[in-house]
Amino acid sequence: MKRPLLVAPLLLAACGGGELSLSLTSDDLGDNSRSLSAPADLTTVRALNITVDEVWVHVSGDDIPDVVVAEDVEASADGWHLLTAEDHSFDLMTVRGGAAWQLGDFPLPTGRLTQVRLKLKAYVAPAVERASLPGAVLEQDGTACDLSVPASVIEPGLKLSGLLPAMRIEAGGRYRALVNLKIKDSTKLDGATCAYKLDPVLKVKWSGGGGDSK
């Protein structure tokens, strides 16, 4: 079941907020120096298909530090805004090496942008700790394999971690965020069924400004 839209776009625009252009990449190519004897992982497959079915951001007031700890933004905290509940399906292998997929342009209220959350869609109900995405991986020879991910990427969603600059959202400002879903922490699992295990890492680069207020 989709969650209700917490803040309507027209309401945000009327309140004099900014606009966020949000894109998704999966660019960790420079982090993957693999030897020929290294175990198989997701960096060498033909396709890695996922669906993002919700995108959320957290906007705090201005009375917070310039740098925040992303994990401190609780799922139950005030300030979460649902940007889109439309399914966006990607082959992550097509958004590597500098490529990106545009998720959309979204209005935001003024304040400090402190967190981004992506909810992946699962077609099999998550187990206690892991969720399975059947057939999400396509190997070079055409073999379809399942993808095992932490259940938390389904609910409450995959979030940024570590120290994070709190980007100021000003009235009339235009901002860009490039969300990077890294796949280097992955491995092919042994067993009769072809499957890969992924513990994804989410990073972001954002920029912009030019608001009416300084």
Tokens encoding 140: 């070079």
Kindly state the average pLDDT of the residues 109-125. Answer: 89
Mean pLDDT (the chain, rounded):
85
Beta strand residue intervals within 16-157, DSSP E = 18-25, 47-60, 67-69, 80-84, 88-91, 101-108, 111-120, 130-138, 144-150
Q: Residue 100: what residue type?
A: A
Q: Check residue 82 and give its pLDDT.
A: 96
Q: Check residue 37 and give its pLDDT.
A: 54
Whether pLDDT at 108 is above 90? yes
Run of H or E including 174: strand 174-182
Q: Check residue 208 and give its pLDDT.
A: 82
Tokens encoding 120: 């992946």
- Contact between 93 and 184 (Cβ < 8 Å): no
pLDDT digits (tens, 9 = 90+) for 180-204: 999 988 999 998 899 999 999 999 9
Share of the chain above pLDDT 70, in %: 83
By three-state DSSP, how is residue 202 classified?
strand
Whether pLDDT at 12 is above 50? no
Whether pLDDT at 2 is above 90? no
Q: Which of 24-38, 69-83, 157-171 has the lowest mean pLDDT?
A: 24-38
pLDDT digits (tens, 9 = 90+) for 34-76: 555 566 889 889 999 999 999 999 999 988 999 999 989 988 8
CA separation for the pair 108, 168 (Å, rounded):
11
Kindly state the average pLDDT of the residues 67-90. Answer: 92
- Contact between 79 and 129 (Cβ < 8 Å): no
- Contact between 79 and 111 (Cβ < 8 Å): yes
Q: Check residue 129 and give its pLDDT.
A: 87
Whether pLDDT at 32 is above 60? no
Q: Check residue 173 and give its pLDDT.
A: 94
Whether pLDDT at 125 is above 80? no
Kindly state the average pLDDT of the residues 164-175. Answer: 93
| pLDDT-derived band at 212, boundaries 50, 70, 90 | very low
CA separation for the pair 162, 145 (Å, rounded):
31
Q: pTM for the full model?
A: 0.84
